[in-house]
Structure 1
């Protein structure tokens, strides 16, 4: 499971980095502070959701699956057969354990900060200030900072002439709930500590909070020039524990933004929609291709479009595909493998990736890569699908569908390669003929054969018809 989680984290990090680059290149000089706040927080959080979204790829495949007069089957490719074997190597587990150790350290550091603020509040003196607003006074506080609904001040600040402006600044942080943004951002930073862009993102959120607070102070009638002078005169080092402090942003940037004329280029925000759709298409989970085949619509799982470029194509069969030369007697299905060993049966099971209860429409047989796969009965090959050399795609991977008499169809998936005569167009297959070899193509964590049987278009438990050779 650790390798799947690590792949997911890499996708989340990639989405977050792309969203941040859009902000850095186009939006960081915009003066729409509240909109910027919404963008920074939303994109940081939605980066976790996008890799889990099933988003339809809207292109259409026009290749044809050959049809026959005997009711060509319509296979449903929604089910994702998975070999329930662990292939996590010790190296991967060690890396994952190191990753979790750093996550734990960062979360512990964050928890210590919260405990310290609670301790500070308990030891502080409660004082009413402007408009009966409550603040907390403690000698260890450097000037002023805000955490949640609590504003902390140093005793010296109450004696300063410019205390009103500083307190108003902290009240803006409190009233706009900036601490919530920072807590969520720090949690994300803890889980994505290996990604430098997430810390740039966090820094941008904090800077934007300061711009919002400065704007809030000036909107209450404070003189702009005197406020800028106050910023320059505030020689201040922020305490390690302080979440929002009056002097904790770069003074030069804040003064520059105060003097910035309204910079609202709405065309930049207009680019966000196609940009977001592109990210969604690239990183969404299991994009679907709608393929039109002679008036029928088949839906196929194709997998992650960025990390695995699918080269899925159907090999068109030659001829009409008649059953006249096949055995029309009683069907007697054999096992598709020698010495079969079942690793996942037919019916409902807990999906290893989504952890949701899902119906498994076939049987998984565990076998070494290269093990011969045999046709379970006489039949006609009606479809072959290949996914390319790397074989690490989602869905069924390399598979073959054979139509039998009496309304039966069998499908053999996750294959390594097909027999040459089958690949070159052999239609009629006799029972026991080798058609392919076991592989691990498609969504698979180990070599196995995923095998399905349909009767009159409905999936049935393959074990009810299989007999050993």
Structure 2
């Protein structure tokens, strides 16, 4: 719900900036065709831009920034505070707002369909006259002249021949330039942003722009003075459906001024101001800084950045009897730390990487007088039969195998169902290493086999850090495992 709330706020702010730019820079210029597409683009950009995400690398590894630091052995109590506390009152308020928002959307959608139904009903009850590429429906004074789609509703009563000619030319422009589609788009936009007064301002601006375009088209075959006189005479005060165009409604004074206005220098260069303006908007609303040191590939790395090296040196000076090591860990790994055997090692420091609460730098150590480091980093590999505690997936074998099969089938397509057995090692950190195909003759391997074996190996390797560590008498050990990967034929 909070994500929906954030989206609505960002979209509204974006529309406000786009409309402000239009009002200050473009609205008074005679680049009316350009303005049509700018206004349509404003509705689409304000709706879509907050949904886009273009990550930008912010800092390099040697500029790593640390945030909160957790000293151990307090890690067990601190680990429960890693997730940010939730403000239940605020969330409830957001949920109420979301309910109000969705209710408003449903009401606006219903009203939209009612208006469309009334218009379609009016068309069906009329006897249209086919003319060129559109159809004419005479309103006989019951409705003012307007257009929708390829239908021209013409009020022919009390009109001179010149007036009728001007009206028809004007409405022909709406029909030929497909202005009804613009209106439908902005009406749909208003359904989702009904609460924003600027969405109605946008609708008015688009309709006024359509009138400018239609006026320009009409005066090409009509005397400008007589057209303006017809425009003044035919201004109607009554209201019809907002999904149609009708002659003489929108801001007559502005339309007359636009008709008389000549193309000036601003008309030629101001549209280019949109390029830097939109670049700033895209950068602000869709580009998000992502430090390169917190990319997924960082998880599991044991290279200590300079900031951690100094802390490790301090710890070594304070405790020369211990050996210190470093590793990047993720939040899920920290949750699993509580289940591990602290007799094997100790975690001396955790630092949350600034900008991402899901990645931590960890310094851990062993007592040099014990043999545990040799066990931890020993190359000796044990079989399942030798263990007192067998490595098991944190989420169970059923979920793990399902995840492995899904991952493998996403990587490769096979012509027939196939099961590939993969050998691997679960080491003393719960990582999956040394994956290989069980009992395979690589000398006779085809290209298709290579792709299938590669997919199986990648799927198994992806389960790293999803395992409880194997033990022999409470000592963590490396364990050789073997699992099947099911590749399914694509129908």
Task: Tell me if TM exceeds 0.5.
Answer: yes
Cα distance in 2 between the residues matched to 1:94 and 1:133:
48
Equivalent residues of 2:140, 2:155 under 8 A apart? yes
Structure 2 length-normalised TM? 0.61
1:4-403 to structure 2, matched below 5 A, reads 4-57=3-56, 59-61=58-60, 63-64=62-63, 89-129=91-131, 131=132, 133-139=134-140, 141-156=142-157, 161-219=162-220, 221-241=221-241, 243-265=244-266, 266-284=268-286, 286-290=288-292, 299=295, 315-318=307-310, 319=312, 326=322, 362=332, 378=345, 384-387=351-354, 395-396=356-357, 399-402=360-363
Q: Which structure has more RCO (C-alpha within 8 Å, separation ≥ 6)?
A: 1
Report the CA distance shift for 1:132/1:198 in structure 2 as closer, same or farther (over 3 A). Answer: closer
TM-score (norm 1): 0.63
Structure 1: how far apart are the matches of 2:280 and 2:349?
A: 36
More helix by share: 2
Structure 1 residues 65 and 168, CA gap change in structure 2 (3 angstroms): closer
| CA deviation profile, 1:388-409 (whole Å, cap 9, x unmatched) | xxxxx6x43573334676579x
Contact 1:136 1:152 in 2 (8 A): yes
**Counterpart secondary structure, 2:153:** strand
Q: Which has the larger radius of gyration?
A: 2
**How many Å separate the matches in 1 of 2:342 and 2:255?**
73
| Cα distance in 2 for residues equivalent to 1:63 and 1:363 | 24
2: CA distance between counterparts of 1:466 and 1:114? 68
| 5 and 253 in structure 1: CA distance in 2 versus 1, 3 angstrom threshold | same
CA, structure 1 residues 327+147, in 2 after alignment: closer, same or farther (shift >3 Å)?
Answer: same
Hey, which of these two has a bigger chunk of strand by percent?
1
How far apart are residue 197 of structure 1 and its match? 1.8
Q: Distance in 1 between matches of 2:331 and 2:360?
A: 15
**Aligned-partner Cα distance in 1 for 2:157–2:276:** 52
Q: CA deviation at 1:362?
A: 3.9
1:65 touches 1:383 (CA, 8 Å); kept in 2? no
Conservation of the 8 A alpha-carbon contact between 2:331 and 2:358: no
Does structure 2 conserve the Cα–Cα contact (< 8 Å) formed by 1:317 and 1:382?
no
SS in 2 for 1:275: helix
Structure 1 unaligned spans of 5+ = 67-80, 292-297, 302-312, 329-335, 337-359, 388-392, 409-451
Evaluate the alpha carbon distance shift between residue 225 and residue 14 of structure 1 in structure 2; reply closer, same or farther with a 3 A threshold.
same
Mapped partners of 1:95, 1:62: distance in 2: 42
Partner of residue 414, structure 1: none
Report the CA distance between 1:466 and its aligned residue: 8.6
C-alpha contact 1:166 1:246 (8 A) present in aligned 2: yes
State the 1:92 CA deviation. Answer: 2.5
Over aligned residues, Cα RMSD in angstroms? 4.2
Quick one: structure 1 residues 272 and 86, their matched pair in 2 at CA, closer, same or farther if it must change by over 3 Å?
A: same
Deviations 1:411-456 (A, max 9, x none): xxxxxxxxxxxxxxxxxxxxxxxxxxxxxxxxxxxxxxxxx96566
CA contact 1:57–1:281 (8 Å) conserved in 2: no
* Structure 2 Cα separation of the partners of residues 373 and 157 of structure 1: 91
For residues 3-58 of structure 1, give each alpha carbon's deviation from its aligned partner in whole angstroms, at most 9, with x where no partner exists.
21121111111112111111111111121111111111012102222112222436
Describe how 1:418-457 pairs up with structure 2 within 5 A: 454=431
Change (3 A) 1:151 1:363: farther
Q: How far apart, in 2, do the equivalents of 1:5 and 1:240 lie?
A: 34
CA deviation map 1:141-181 (0-9, x unaligned) = 52311111211122426765411110111111011111111
Alpha carbons of structure 1 residues 140 and 375: separation in structure 2 relative to 1, 3 Å: farther
Distance across 2 between alignment mates of 1:466 and 1:260: 83
Distance 1:27 1:290, change over 3 A: farther
Using the TM superposition, give the Cα deviation of residue 241 of structure 1 relative to its aligned residue in structure 2, in angstroms. Answer: 1.5
Distance 2:205 2:340 in 1: 57
With over 3 angstroms needed to count, the CA separation of the structure-2 counterparts of 1:314 and 1:120, relative to structure 1, is farther
Query: Cα 1:183–1:198, aligned 2, differ >3 Å: closer, same or farther?
Result: same
CA distance in 2, matches of 1:159, 1:269: 40
For residues 353-397 of structure 1, give each alpha carbon's deviation from its aligned partner in whole angstroms, at most 9, with x where no partner exists. xxxxxxx9946859xxxx99997963677973354xxxxx6x435
5+ residue gaps, structure 2: 66-81, 298-304, 366-372, 379-428, 435-460, 476-491
